[in-house]
């Protein structure tokens, strides 16, 4: 099996909940075997059940560290993209209410291809990159969408040596297909030509 990000060889990690997982021997990612990927129909059925709305105080608290980072780093004149904005683009709406120019893009709910024909001062991927079926292709796309001195804000749960993958709750969502470690992020930084990578407790940021 080849890694879906770096194309290096990957070892079979194990079968959990009738799904097979592999660990890359190069970039230290873990990924679901493509034969176990959910169909687009099953994916959308799962996303339709998300209760991530502006009325959900728990979800707003979940978003707050990422939103605070964007509000601190960016100004309202900068153009942003909420990539993988979901059925309820709460993050987009919140920033727009603060007079920020942000566009929502989602292959299931806001599939406006013209949004991928321009470049941005910043892109936000909040709980998105773990859903990538082809992270190499997706990060290539994201990199081309960023202007010089732009930022890519990402939020996902990272793997660490202290995590027992078999018991890790984050893998149990069947739409989560690719998992990143800090080593994986360092690989992405070099592979896709980012100048900086800053890892914080709740999120991480690549800078072009």
The model's pLDDT over 153-176, given as tens digits with 9 standing for 90+, comes to 999 999 999 999 999 999 999 999
Question: Residue 196 pLDDT > 90, yes or no?
Answer: yes
Using a 10 angstrom Cβ sphere, with 0-12 exposed, 13-18 middle and 19 or more buried, the burial of residue 182 is middle
pLDDT band at 58 (very low <50, low <70, confident <90, very high): confident
Residues shown for the chain: 208
Give yes or no for residue 3 having a pLDDT over 90.
yes
Whole-prediction pTM: 0.96
Q: pLDDT band for position 145 (50/70/90)?
A: very high
Phi, psi dihedral angles at 92 (to 5 degrees): -60, -50
pLDDT tens-digit map of 5-18: 999 999 999 999 99
């Amino acid at each position: 099996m080849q890694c879906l990000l770096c194309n290096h060889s990957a070892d079979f990690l194990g079968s959990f909940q009738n799904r097979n997982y592999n660990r890359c021997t190069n970039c230290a990612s873990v990924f679901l075997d493509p034969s176990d990927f959910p169909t687009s129909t099953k994916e959308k059925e799962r996303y339709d059940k998300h209760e991530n709305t502006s009325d959900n105080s728990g979800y707003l608290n979940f978003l707050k560290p990422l939103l605070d980072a964007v509000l601190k780093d960016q100004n309202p004149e900068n153009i942003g993209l909420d990539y993988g904005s979901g059925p309820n683009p709460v993050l987009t709406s919140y920033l727009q209410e603060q007079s920020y120019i942000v566009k929502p893009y989602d292959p299931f709910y806001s599939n406006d291809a013209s949004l991928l024909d321009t470049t941005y001062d910043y892109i936000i991927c909040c709980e998105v990159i773990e859903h990538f079926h082809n992270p190499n292709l997706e990060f290539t796309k994201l990199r081309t969408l960023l202007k010089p001195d732009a930022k890519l804000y990402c939020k996902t749960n990272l793997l660490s040596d202290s995590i027992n993958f078999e018991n890790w709750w984050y893998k149990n969502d069947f739409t989560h297909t690719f998992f990143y470690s800090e080593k994986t992020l360092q690989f992405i930084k070099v592979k896709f030509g980012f100048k900086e990578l800053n890892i914080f407790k709740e999120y991480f940021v690549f800078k072009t």
